Amino acid sequence: MHPHSATSSDIARYLSRSDIWLDLKVADKRGLFDAIGRHLEREHVLSHDLVVTSLSRRELAGSTAVGGGVAIPHARISGLDRILVAYARLASPIRFNAPDGEPVTHVLVLLVPNPAADEHLTILAEAAHLFSDRQFREELAASADPDATMQLFSTWTKGL
């Protein structure tokens, strides 16, 4: 893993304030992917169906939940010209077939161009590392607004 600066994370480079949802109300994984697809179609002119299908297909290959109430759904999207990261904190936890059996509250979405460079692997590794930190998850859960959430992702480098 390459060294990180003390000021920013790879995730923060690709995450914008408009792609942070706090207390998103969804009933299940299908509802979550639908909400993500609708948002990305509106904000980034991506096909809702393509986003939903790509995330769902990846999920069928194995749950993207990593434990501790966290999932990192990710997919390659044809025609995407850059890496996109979005974060959702769910109003109520949903089942995600997590390895520890815990329902998911924190969702970090990663969409990468197809064909993809290896940079998304660095982001996935960073996300897994960040979310494995209980204090980071607790501060994220307590985050009051998208600005505070963005700040947390930007500056949390403890142990990286």
Concatenate the DSSP letters of all residues of the chain into one string: -----SS--HHHHHEEEEEEEEEE--SSHHHHHHHHHHHHHHHH---HHHHHHHHHHHHHTS--EEETTEE--EEEEET--S-EEEEEEEEEEE----TT-PPEEEEEEEEEEES--THHHHHHHHHHHHHT-HHHHHHHHH--SHHHHHHHHHH--TT-
* Residue 76 main-chain phi, psi, to 5 deg: -90, 135
- Which one is catalytic: 39, 44, 48, 74? 74
> For this structure, is 74 an active site residue?
yes
Tell me the catalytic residues: 74
